[in-house]
């Protein structure tokens, strides 16, 4: 197909999501299956977006297929691939809940995979159009889940011209948009901000849960147009909700009006079937007492607090009892609790119940562990499954995490009482597609939360009263009400009574308003180098004013020696943490755990609760705060130093979690937490990594395995006497045994095979004894646990995002001329494709040509040559070297005499400052800033360092079109307050805006990153 029309949307939809089950059995291709078709509203939305752009609000009921907005965004982008296009390149699908079984990401991944494989039909035409935007050799569409919390994990932020669908939360997208990305290094914050703020569409699902963020989006949009020279394609946002505010009605409001075709289509499988399904719900209460009045004596208050475990036990026993009753009638029951602790208790009571399988799903678990759990239950709990009467019964105990984005489908539901909107979301997982037609649910309220609740406030009590008033007693055979059974209310979409506007206000979860967003706040967030001491907390503008607390991420590693904490940073640098192995907990919980202090309750939603006071000094566990390789903030800290957004790496022996997630109080009862580091490198980053260390190799195969003894012996042999710069030990025997070990995990066998077959694999000495092997290339890997789920596509994540000079040592030796010309070409192509005017394109490209000329410093060249002065003198100027070991790099720097903390970009600035006009700059100030800030500094202050020497650095016209020279003393003077660096930054910020300048920086910096990636790939394929 050579052309695309809006009329092809139906065919695109079929090719992305077909064929249906029957056609699949008959071998009919997706594009020929006529049974998979979009709902009428999805078709209408595609036409609306194509002709008039995106509406401001979309009002749709639960289970109406709102994730198809992703299909609409991708298809309409392909319809408009011109340089003057209006369709946004990047889509951020935002849900203010932790994603467990994320239908939105699975849907996006399925689309990306099918587009990448398409060879005919509409899908091929769409893929061709998207590849035209992304550039030669790129994927037509990339998908990502932004979990945050891990530095240098930004595989989605690789290119400013790559079509993208990212699924994330308000915290992750909102913090990036405001320039304070959670888990993003200060140097990369502007890059993430620029990409989220331009050429992007933010789809805010269940917007009623995220009103403060919505207000912030509106305010920031208004500010962005006030720049003197605003850049094209600023972000736009769409809010989706089943309960929009009255102000949303208007010409930019999209909804299902009465008489819409979807509301009259009674064919099986259509939307009306979902809306008309009945969900008869019992309302029950468990009396565990009422909390004392606030004025009650302290002794009474203390006794009440101490009685919490008993109250929890009483409530959980009743939930478990009701669940067992339902399991006698149906095969798949969902149980939803408001707190992780009570969910864990109910799970423990049910997991040993007869012939029933029980699993626990919470947002307080590691993604790889959740993937394994959901893979076990997917065939028996997903929407659209074939219900088999002889299947083993299943109960899924979960928290609020399944309220949005979870494509689970229960036959019956037990839920703790919550606000009305939360209950509606939970019931949306009951008979999700309306296939049963009639189903049962039970809402259970506990008396001690009905007056006020840390999560739902007074809404939970008001909702309970409303349910009791609307529920009706079941009728007996003669039509009379019977008192033996609890009252019933139908939670089916078409049958649930509509509260009045006045009632509804009190039945919804507490909502807060964002503070007024002022230019002073935006100026503070624009200061990233260094960050100001008085730094406004962006959480206030994402969730409103409250005492809510953010998360930290905990990663467990087995190879951290307790007695050598000084080695922890070096050890972790050889196998950097990934978000798939990180467990999020509130900051107060992490502090309490490290300090061995009893922690507070944990919820899966934002929770208002007092922080736990932890002394700044004293005894307790210590953790490695990981901020990235060569970052001085990566240091071992105590409980009092833990801050929101930190990534903490701790020894596995400490316990604290099991396969289902966080244990109450961080208990170590379950034993050591498995180390997932090597697995994450393969499955998340596509790089085979194997740490040959005793603490890890002991768990490669079971103790009963025939290869266990052989592996122990081989590991012990190769680990003895390993020196960093000595002869590499023979590890092929270990890799051969692991490759053939049938009782080893599939991912581990794959790692061994890749390393065994890689002649350019890299070997480093493990600082605590042993070896670390890493493959020379990244190749995506799909775990067997995900093979029974919808197909996904993922790209390995690059490592070329460091703000430090370590990025000059990550690949083979590359000449300064070739690197500079390569960055110039990419920067020009990126800037042109981003719709910038000709002058900006010229300046961004010129900045790419000049950005690294400061590496001509003779001392830097000696450093790149390992400290060898003769080799540096006889070689062409280099931009990159292949020295990967941190210790060898530091040793070479000292030998070369390059000052610690010095920045080559400061010398680059000095070399071009007097020649920038002659070099062809249209906007000299912009070129100077882009060169000075291309590693994240000079926003607004340049880094200060001691410069003991006055050495001349110079390049010829082959690098910069004309000879350039400056002394290293000139480079050091750039750091002075009177150098003009700061004034230039603020002037450019006013000209291009708080969001525009970061976008220009991102275009140049990503061109630099991608060129470095290409140079490494050339090493692998030469």
- Model confidence over 133-150: pLDDT tens digits? 998 888 999 998 876 555
Residue 810, pLDDT above cutoff 70: no
CA distance 534 to 517: 16
Under DSSP, the state recorded for 252 is T
- Residue 650, both tokens: 């701790």
Residue 615, pLDDT above cutoff 60: no
Most confident of 102-111, 134-143, 383-392, 457-466: 457-466
Most confident of 340-349, 706-715, 1013-1022: 340-349
- Residue 1021, both tokens: 């394929």
For 119, residues 6+ apart whose C-beta sits below 8 A from its C-beta are: none
Mean local confidence (pLDDT), 916-945:
94
pLDDT value at residue 800: 39
Burial letters for 769-786: b for 16+ Cβ neighbours within 10 Å, e otherwise?
bbbbbbbbbbeebebebb
Per-residue confidence band for 807, with pLDDT thresholds at 50, 70 and 90 = low
> Helix or strand or coil: residue 786?
helix
pLDDT value at residue 835: 94
CA distance 907 to 932: 9
DSSP string, 260-325: -GGGT--STTSHHHHHH-EEEEEEEEE----PPPTTS-HHHHHHHHHTHHHHHHHHHHHHHHHHHH
Most confident of 664-668, 824-828, 972-976: 824-828
Residue 450, pLDDT above cutoff 70: yes
Mean local confidence (pLDDT), 901-914:
94
> Whose CA is closest to 441, among 329, 315, 363?
329
pLDDT value at residue 122: 95
Helix axes 838-850, 816-833, angle to 10 degrees: 160
pLDDT value at residue 823: 96
Bigger pLDDT: 977 or 444?
Answer: 444
pLDDT value at residue 787: 38
Mean local confidence (pLDDT), 323-328:
93
Q: Are 371 and 578 in contact (CB under 8 A)?
A: no
Mean pLDDT rounded to a whole number for the chain: 86
- Given the structure tokens 């037990």, which residue do they identify? 414
CA distance 624 to 473: 58
Residue 153, pLDDT above cutoff 60: no
Quick: pLDDT tens for 36-53: 899 999 999 999 999 999
- Residue 425, both tokens: 């979301």
Per-residue confidence band for 668, with pLDDT thresholds at 50, 70 and 90 = confident
Per-residue confidence band for 1021, with pLDDT thresholds at 50, 70 and 90 = very low
Bigger pLDDT: 1006 or 1?
Answer: 1006
Question: Long-range contacts for 487-490 (Cβ within 8 Å, ≥24 apart)?
Answer: 487/282, 487/283, 488/280, 488/281, 488/282, 488/283, 489/280, 489/281, 489/283, 490/278, 490/279, 490/280, 490/281
Mean local confidence (pLDDT), 545-556:
78
Range scoring the smallest mean pLDDT among 584-598, 816-830, 858-872: 584-598
Helix axes 996-1021, 924-932, angle to 10 degrees: 50
- Given the structure tokens 């890890």, which residue do they identify? 696
Question: What are the residue ranges of helices labelled H in 35-120?
Answer: 40-52, 69-79, 103-117
User: Sheet of 647-651: strands edge to edge?
Assistant: 583-586, 551-557, 647-651, 623-625, 635-637
pLDDT value at residue 995: 97
Per-residue confidence band for 191, with pLDDT thresholds at 50, 70 and 90 = very high
> Whose CA is closest to 282, among 432, 424, 445, 440?
440
Quick: pLDDT tens for 618-641: 468 999 999 877 677 789 999 989
Bigger pLDDT: 815 or 103?
Answer: 815
Mean local confidence (pLDDT), 390-404:
84
Q: What share of the chain is helix, strand, coil (3-state, %, to 5)?
A: 40, 15, 45
Residue 909, pLDDT above cutoff 70: yes
CA distance 504 to 543: 21
Per-residue confidence band for 34, with pLDDT thresholds at 50, 70 and 90 = confident
pLDDT value at residue 285: 94
Bigger pLDDT: 150 or 395?
Answer: 395
């Amino acid at each position: 197909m050579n052309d695309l029309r809006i009329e092809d949307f139906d065919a695109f939809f079929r090719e992305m999501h077909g064929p249906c089950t029957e056609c699949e059995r008959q071998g009919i291709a997706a594009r020929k299956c006529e049974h998979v078709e979009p709902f009428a509203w999805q078709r209408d939305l595609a036409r609306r977006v194509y002709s008039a752009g995106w509406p401001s609000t979309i009002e749709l009921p639960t289970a109406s297929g709102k994730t198809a907005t992703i299909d609409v965004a991708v298809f309409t982008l392909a319809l408009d691939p011109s340089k003057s296009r209006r369709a946004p390149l990047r889509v951020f699908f935002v849900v203010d809940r932790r994603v467990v079984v994320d239908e939105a990401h699975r849907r996006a991944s399925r689309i990306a995979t099918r587009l990448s494989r398409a060879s005919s039909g509409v899908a091929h035409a769409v893929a061709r159009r998207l590849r035209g935007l992304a550039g030669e050799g790129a994927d037509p569409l990339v998908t990502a889940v932004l979990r945050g919390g891990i530095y240098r994990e930004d595989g989605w932020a690789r290119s400013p011209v790559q079509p993208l669908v990212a699924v994330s939360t308000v915290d992750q997208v909102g913090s990036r948009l405001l320039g304070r990305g959670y888990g993003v290094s200060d140097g990369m914050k502007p890059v993430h901000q620029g990409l989220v703020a331009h050429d992007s569409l933010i789809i805010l699902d269940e917007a009623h849960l995220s009103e403060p963020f919505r207000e912030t989006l509106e305010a920031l949009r208004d500010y962005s147009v006030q720049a003197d020279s605003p850049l094209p394609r600023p972000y736009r946002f769409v809010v989706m909700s089943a309960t929009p505010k009255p102000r949303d009605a208007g010409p930019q409001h999209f909804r299902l009006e009465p008489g819409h075709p979807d509301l009259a289509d009674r064919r099986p499988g259509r939307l009306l079937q979902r809306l008309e399904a009945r969900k008869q719900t019992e309302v029950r209460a468990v009396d565990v007492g009422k909390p004392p009045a606030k004025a009650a004596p302290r002794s009474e208050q203390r006794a009440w607090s101490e009685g919490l475990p008993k109250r929890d036990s009483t409530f959980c026993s009743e939930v478990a009892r009701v669940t067992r009753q339902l399991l006698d009638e149906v095969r798949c029951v969902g149980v939803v609790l408001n707190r992780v602790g009570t969910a864990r208790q109910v799970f423990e009571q049910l997991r040993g119940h007869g012939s029933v399988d029980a699993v626990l799903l919470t947002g307080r678990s590691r993604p790889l562990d959740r993937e394994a759990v959901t893979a076990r239950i997917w065939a028996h709990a997903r929407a659209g499954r074939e219900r088999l009467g002889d299947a083993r019964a299943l109960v899924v105990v979960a928290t609020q995490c399944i309220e949005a984005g979870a494509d689970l489908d229960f036959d019956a539901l037990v839920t703790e009482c919550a606000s009305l909107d939360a209950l509606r979301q939970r019931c949306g997982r009951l008979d999700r597609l309306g296939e049963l037609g009639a189903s049962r649910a039970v809402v259970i309220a506990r008396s001690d939360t009905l007056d006020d609740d840390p999560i739902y406030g007074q809404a939970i009590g008001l909702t309970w009263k409303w349910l009791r008033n609307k529920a009706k007693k079941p009728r007996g055979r003669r039509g009379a009400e019977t008192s033996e059974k609890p009252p019933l209310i139908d939670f089916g979409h078409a049958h649930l009574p509509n509260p009045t506007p006045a009632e509804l206000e009190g039945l919804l979860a507490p909502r807060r308003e964002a503070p007024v967003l002022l230019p002073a706040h935006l100026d503070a967030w624009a200061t990233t180098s260094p960050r100001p001491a008085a730094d406004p907390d962006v959480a206030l503008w994402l969730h409103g004013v409250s005492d809510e607390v953010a998360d930290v991420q905990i990663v467990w590693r087995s190879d951290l020696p307790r007695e050598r904490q000084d080695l922890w940073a070096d050890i972790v640098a050889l196998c950097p943490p990934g978000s798939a192995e990180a467990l999020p907990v509130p900051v107060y919980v992490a502090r309490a755990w490290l300090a061995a202090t009893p922690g507070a309750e944990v919820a899966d939603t934002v929770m208002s609760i007092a922080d736990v006071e932890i002394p700044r000094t004293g005894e307790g566990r210590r953790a490695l705060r990981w901020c990235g390789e060569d970052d001085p903030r990566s240091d071992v800290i105590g409980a009092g130093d833990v801050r929101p957004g930190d990534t903490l790496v701790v020894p596995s022996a400490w316990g604290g979690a099991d396969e289902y997630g966080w244990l109450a109080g961080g208990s170590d009862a379950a034993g050591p937490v498995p180390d997932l580091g090597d697995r994450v490198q393969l499955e998340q980053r596509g790089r085979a990594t194997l740490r040959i260390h005793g603490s890890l190799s002991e768990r490669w195969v079971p103790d009963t395995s025939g290869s266990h003894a052989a592996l122990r012996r081989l590991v012990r042999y190769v680990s003895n006497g390993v020196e960093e710069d000595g002869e590499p030990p023979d590890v092929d025997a270990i890799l051969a045994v692991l490759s053939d070990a049938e009782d080893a995990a599939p991912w581990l066998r794959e790692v061994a095979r890749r390393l065994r077959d890689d002649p350019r694999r890299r070997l480093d000495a493990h600082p605590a004894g042993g070896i670390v092997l890493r493959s020379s290339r990244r190749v995506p890997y799909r775990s067997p646990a995900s093979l029974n789920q919808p197909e996904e596509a993922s790209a390995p994540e690059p490592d070329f995002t460091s703000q430090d000079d370590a990025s000059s040592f990550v690949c083979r030796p590359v000449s300064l001329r070739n690197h500079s010309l390569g960055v110039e070409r990419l920067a020009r192509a990126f800037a042109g494709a981003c719709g910038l005017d000709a002058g900006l394109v010229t300046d961004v490209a010129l900045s790419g040509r000049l950005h690294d000329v400061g590496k001509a410093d003779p001392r830097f060249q000696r450093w790149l040559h390992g400290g060898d002065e003769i080799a540096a003198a006889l070689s062409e100027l280099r931009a990159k070297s292949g020295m990967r070991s941190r210790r060898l790099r530091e040793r070479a720097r000292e030998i070369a005499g390059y000052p610690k903390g010095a920045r080559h970009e400061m010398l680059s600035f000095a070399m071009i400052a007097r020649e920038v006009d002659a070099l062809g700059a249209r906007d000299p100030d912009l070129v100077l800033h882009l060169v000075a800030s291309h590693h994240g500094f000079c926003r607004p202050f340049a880094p200060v360092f001691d410069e003991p020497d006055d050495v001349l650095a110079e390049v010829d016209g082959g690098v910069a079109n004309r000879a350039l020279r400056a002394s290293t003393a000139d480079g050091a003077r750039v750091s002075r307050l009177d150098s003009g660096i700061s004034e230039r930054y603020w002037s450019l910020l006013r000209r291009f805006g708080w969001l525009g300048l970061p976008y220009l920086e991102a275009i140049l910096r990503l061109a630099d990153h991608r060129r470095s990636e290409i140079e490494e790939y050339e090493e692998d394929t030469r």
